[in-house]
Amino acid sequence: MGAVWHPECFCCNACKRPITDYEFSMQGNQPYHKSCYKELYHPRCDVCKQFIPTNSFGLIEYRAHPFWLQKYCPSHEHDGTPRCCSCERMEPREAQYISLDDGRKLCLECLDSAIMDTNECHPLHLDILEFYEGLNMKVKQQIPLLLVERQALNVAMEGEKNGIHHHLPETRGLCLSEEQTVSTILRRPIFGFGNRVVEMMTEPYKLIRRCEVTAILVLYGLPRLLTGSILAHEMMHAWLRLNGYSTLRPEVEEGICQVLAHMWLDSEIFSGSGSHIASSSSSSSSSTSSKKGTRSQFERKLGDFFKHQIESDTSAAYGDGFRVGNEAVLRYGLRQTLDHIKLTGSFPY
């Protein structure tokens, strides 16, 4: 310490009480009780709220989510602590996530703007159609949009003859071109004891092939912004098929679909950022705002997270495809990029 202290002045900088122990901690030339120091500076786990334990080398080791920065003991990765299927945050011990009946867990903040059944999705469907129209890419055909459970999505995936690219860790939307019967969610589930689904109403829906695309399926129970970005992605698959684009390489097809999903998120975040001035234009006032009118702080952050997920995706098709595609669209514009894809099957460089 290099200084001389009178015992009566040798007080802890946190609790101000005298330090009589032989062992104490120093920080910024100030002494602390060991326990006070730990309370102040030792990181606590956001999941179990305990001090993060030291590993076998005596170092404090923790994991942190790259976007939310939620930090937690490494053990929670294997001890069955659930993650929200939408925002990926781990369930803190004092919170209770809701359980969707297909095994997914959803945090309460994501639940807040979640779209739970096919009817609830209707205004969002119109928003996406309007978004495509605004890009001069009107989808003229009527394509049914169905909200489904995970199992129904997997069954439909198997019913498709043409290859479907799997998006890890989970496929959350599909653009179908076969005639199949799909189990769709008729009415939002009712949650009971322990935040579990106690009642759920589904209905078989027979798809009829009137054009290249028979339906778009999206997983239910996801926040509006995520549902919308999945829908914008699948709508782009539909648009490509309906506009005579031949089978594209996965990184080109998934890449350009992710570009559209990302563009839609951008437009939503932008239109929701100045909520008090956003409604000044009459043409878009009916559909730009979220379910509850103005967007919450959390929903905006969630929008940023979904963009971040698209941007940092490590897969070749979705991630690299998006980055190359986005670069091309920034440089040449969407129209020219699409024309180039139609002609050559690849992105312009």
Instruction: Write out the two tokens for 248.
Output: 């594209």
Closest by CA to 205, choosing from 179, 228, 230, is 179
Query: What is the smallest separation between the CB atom of 92 and Zn ion, expressed in angstroms?
Result: 9
Sequence-separated (6 or more) residues with CB below 8 Å from residue 125: 145, 231
CB of 276 to Zn ion, least distance (A): 27
Whether 50 and 70 have beta carbons less than 8 Å apart is answered as no
Nearer to Zn ion, 257 or 328 (CB): 257
CB of 168 to Zn ion, least distance (A): 12
- Cα four-point dihedral sign 291, 294, 299, 303: positive
Give the residue with the Cβ less far from Zn ion, 113 or 288.
113
| Minimum CB–partner distance for residue 201 and Zn ion (Å) | 24
Q: What's the alpha-carbon Rg for the chain, to the nearest Å?
A: 26
Rounded-to-integer distance, Cα 222 and Cα 227, Å: 6
| Residue 322 and residue 313 in contact, taking contact as beta carbons nearer than 8 Å | yes
- Helix or strand run (H / E) with residue 230: helix 224-242
Closer by beta carbon to Zn ion, 1 or else 277:
1
List residues near Zn ion by CB under 5 A.
12, 14-15, 33, 36, 45, 47-48, 73, 84, 86-87, 107, 110, 254, 257
Phi, psi (degrees; rounded to nearest 5) at 332: -110, -5
Q: How far is the CB of 138 from Zn ion (least distance, A)?
A: 20
- Given the complex with Zn ion, which of 147 and 288 has the nearer CB atom? 147
Of the two residues 76 and 202, which places its CB atom closer to Zn ion in the complex? 76
